[in-house]
Amino acid sequence: MAPRKKPIIELPEGVRRVRSKGRDYFYFHPHRGTDLEKKAQRLPGTLFDQEFWDAYHKASDTIKLQQGLFSSLIRDYLQSPEFKDKATKTAREYERYFEIIKQHWGHLPVADLRPRNVLELRDYYASTPAKSNHLIRVLSLLVSLGVPRGYETINPCTSVRKLKVGQGYAPWPAEAIKYFSEHARKDMWEAAALALYSGQRQGDVLKMKWDDIENGLISVKQDKTKKFLVIPVHSELQEVLDNIERNSIYILTNSRGRPWASGFNASWTKQMARPEMAELKEAGFVFHGLRKSAVVILQEAGCTDAQVGAVTGQTRQMVEHYSIMVNQGKLAREAMLKWDNG
């Protein structure tokens, strides 16, 4: 009688068989050939042995647990098309907040997240409300992207209110701008002037090239929003441009005549630390405030929100937010004038 053959059993998920020298060897190797691939783990015995199944269940349960953790969700998001589509600066900012989330919850399951946990994280950073709010925004985005990926069924962040913050970066008044233009290092004022008169962010200003200027217009593709803008060159900006030495294809260069590949923030900080800049520093004026100054100046000149947005690339909601200060000042002047004439 022919010997009975052992029944054929289908390989469980994540297991592969390797035959060598007449023997079968089994390895737990999930996600083989993908970005999620891990090192193969040898399983003892065969599919007909209890020790094989004990080892398999232990290994697969570990993988399933790891796949549900915040650290795994962050890993998946960093490899996603949504993240790869982010601007370089935005991506770096997200990564910084992901590290904070991993420090707190990297080893915990996403599915266990509750609103009270989000509230505790928000309050932990309450001394820096802007940072706290942005952290919760990044967390909310992360969790919402984890819902269709099976990490969570709801987003607990949506029920947590943001902390109240101040008015943000202060716009530079005319006298502060004039003082800076007269006392700042030449390359620092050139950068400030380009930001002020174009209404653009620091990163976009530093990337502007001479070829971007044609027929009195500056062409800008914003790194953060991907918007393409064409902005008329202000007459006072033209005077600054006429006095910039063309050391590079880029408009702005450092004191050595080289493009600002890096080091601008350090140079700006050093500039503002000089004794003659003490009053500006104490007043809280920062580089990004120049963009806000552009909005305020345009609004005070009578520009509509749509016209301001056409220059800065900001949404109507953001322009309206900036207009609060302008409208308040205008109304206050009108009120005092009526009082004086009453």
pLDDT at 7 over 50: no
Mean pLDDT of 2-11: 57
- 268 and 179 belong to one structural domain: yes
Question: Do 134 and 260 belong together in one domain?
Answer: no
Give domain status of residue 40, yes or no: yes
Structure confidence at residue 34 (pLDDT):
63
| Domain of residue 323, residue span | 174-341
- The pLDDT assigned to 219 comes to 94
Tell whether the model's pLDDT for residue 65 goes beyond 60: no
Least confident of 11-20, 29-38, 58-67, 307-316: 58-67
User: Quick one: pLDDT band at residue 175, thresholds 50, 70, 90?
Assistant: very high
Q: What pLDDT score does 28 carry?
A: 82
57 and 92 together in one domain: no
| CATH number of the domain bearing residue 151 | 1.10.150.130
Highest mean pLDDT among 38-42, 277-281, 331-335: 277-281
Mean pLDDT of 296-304: 86
Stretch 215-219: mean pLDDT, rounded? 94
Q: What is the pLDDT of residues 203-214, one digit of tens each?
A: 999 999 999 999
Q: Is the pLDDT of residue 249 over 70?
A: yes
In this structure, are 209 and 303 located in the same domain? yes
- Structural domains in the chain (count): 3
Q: 305 lies in a domain? A: yes
- Helix residue ranges, H only, the chain: 50-67, 70-78, 81-84, 88-105, 115-124, 129-146, 174-183, 186-198, 202-206, 235-242, 264-272, 278-282, 289-300, 305-312, 316-341
- Which of 52-56, 176-180, 266-270, 282-286 is the least confident region? 52-56
CATH number, domain of 210, equals 1.10.443.10
Residues 118, 243 within the same domain: no
Question: Is the per-residue pLDDT at 321 higher than 60?
Answer: yes
Q: Does residue 96 carry a pLDDT above 70?
A: yes
Provide the β-strand partners of residue 253. Answer: 259
54/75 same-domain check: no
Task: Report the pLDDT averaged over residues 213-224.
Answer: 92
Please tell me whether residues 194 and 334 are part of one structural domain. yes
* One domain for residues 57 and 108: no
When pLDDT is averaged across residues 299-307 and rounded to a whole number, the result is 86
Query: Cα dist. 230→18, 198, 223, 331 in Å?
Result: 62, 10, 15, 33
Whether residues 141 and 26 share a domain: the answer is: no
DSSP per-residue string spanning 180-235: HHHHS-HHHHHHHHHHHHHT--HHHHHT-BGGGEETTEEEEE-TTT--EEEEEPPH
Higher pLDDT, 7 or 15: 15
Closest CA to 161 of 106, 218, 115, 103: 115
pLDDT bin (cut points 50, 70, 90) of residue 29 is confident
Q: Tell me which of 7, 41, 67 is where a domain ends.
A: 67
If you average pLDDT over residues 184-203, what whole number do you get?
Answer: 94
pLDDT-based confidence at 98, cuts 50/70/90? very high
pLDDT digits (tens, 9 = 90+) for 112-171: 899 999 999 988 888 788 888 999 999 999 999 888 888 888 999 988 888 876 656 788
Whether the model pTM is above 0.85: no
Shared-domain flag, residues 135 and 207:
no
In a domain, 1, yes or no: no
180 and 216, same domain (yes or no):
yes
Give the confidence band of 55 by pLDDT, cuts at 50, 70, 90.
Answer: confident
Residue 169 lies in a domain: no
Residue 166 lies in a domain: no
Determine which helix (DSSP H) or strand (DSSP E) holds 15, and give its type and residue range. Answer: strand 15-20
Better-predicted residue by pLDDT, 19 or 341: 19
Looking at 109, 128, 159, which one is the last position of a domain? Answer: 159
Same domain, 202 and 215: yes
- What would the mean pLDDT of 275-303 be, rounded to a whole number? 89
Is 146 within the bounds of a domain? yes
Distance CA 200, CA 197 (A): 8
Longest dimension (CA), the chain: 121
The answer as to whether 167 is a domain residue is: no
pLDDT at 327: 58
